Amino acid sequence: MSTTQTLSPSTPTAQQILKLFPEIDTQTHKATTPSSHNDTDLSGYDVEQIRLMDEVCIVLDVDDNPIGSASKKTCHLMENINKGLLHRAFSVFLFNSDNKLLLQQRASEKITFPDLWTNTCCSHPLATPRETGAELSEAVAGVTTAAVRKLEQELGIPSAQVPIEKFEFLTRIHYRAPSDGKWGEHEIDYILFIKADVDVEENPNEVQATRWVSPEELKAMFAEGKLAFTPWFKLICQSMLFEWWEHLDGGLEGYKGEREIRRM
């Protein structure tokens, strides 16, 4: 089962990251040529998931400033993560009108963290003009745009049911976690809440199951000990999720728009 790792107090600077990883494109909006096909690192994985490894993530310094872009594959190799390579991500928590949270179980085809239960949607904004931002307000707009895109791609949720203006940005978490010996995550993860009644049609290449849960039902899933969860979801649950959830219909204002990055 995946575990999170303690973050090193000595984090490489942007200049050091660029020197360590010459493949980083400092023009974050520049298109790249697909490179993951016939890649020995990806041999044996699902064809569609291999294709998605060519997507271009936003590479960051430790303060969430974009310094360039690199492929999803480059950003998720543990050998790169262990040298300090860091990228931007988001985690969506979607609640219905009964205040139940939509969970998903990741598909077996996923290259990182397959089969694990997690929050509604977890993914990465792309290094494109619509999804990249340097200032916090621009970055929030970018990850929210990406969230709408991924909710439709993974869960079949129509964009009209999750309009951008309904999302609430709470905070950012910085964490590192291995998936297996080769792959992992090292992200600054934007936490997004949205309350909406939606139609769900899982993309089986991304999601193998979904479940709507109350706080009590989620706590019971953890206590049961039979299910495995993603490390970022566990971190969020162990820290603030249930407190945020309690204030979903009143008092959430006090938690929104946090500027300090939470180092997990």
Active site residue 217: no
Residue 5 burial (C-beta neighbours within 10 Å; 0-12, 13-18, 19+): middle
- Report which of 174, 146, 176 is spatially closest to residue 162, judged by C-alpha positions: 146
Beta strand segments in the chain, E: 56-60, 66-71, 87-95, 101-106, 117-118, 121-123, 168-178, 184-195, 207-213, 261-263
Of residues 122, 131, 185, 206, which has the active-site annotation?
122
Active site residue 187: yes
What is the rounded CA–CA span in Å between residue 189 and residue 123?
9
What is the rounded CA–CA span in Å between residue 87 and residue 69?
9
Q: How far is it between the farthest Cα atoms of the chain?
A: 52
The answer to whether 89 and 122 are in contact (CB under 8 A) is yes
What is the phi/psi pair of residue 32, to 5°?
-115, 160
What is the rounded CA–CA span in Å between residue 213 and residue 23?
42
Q: Is 202 helix (H, G, I), strand (E, B) or coil?
A: coil
Of residues 55, 152, 187, 206, which has the active-site annotation?
187
**Catalytic residue positions, numbered:** 122, 187
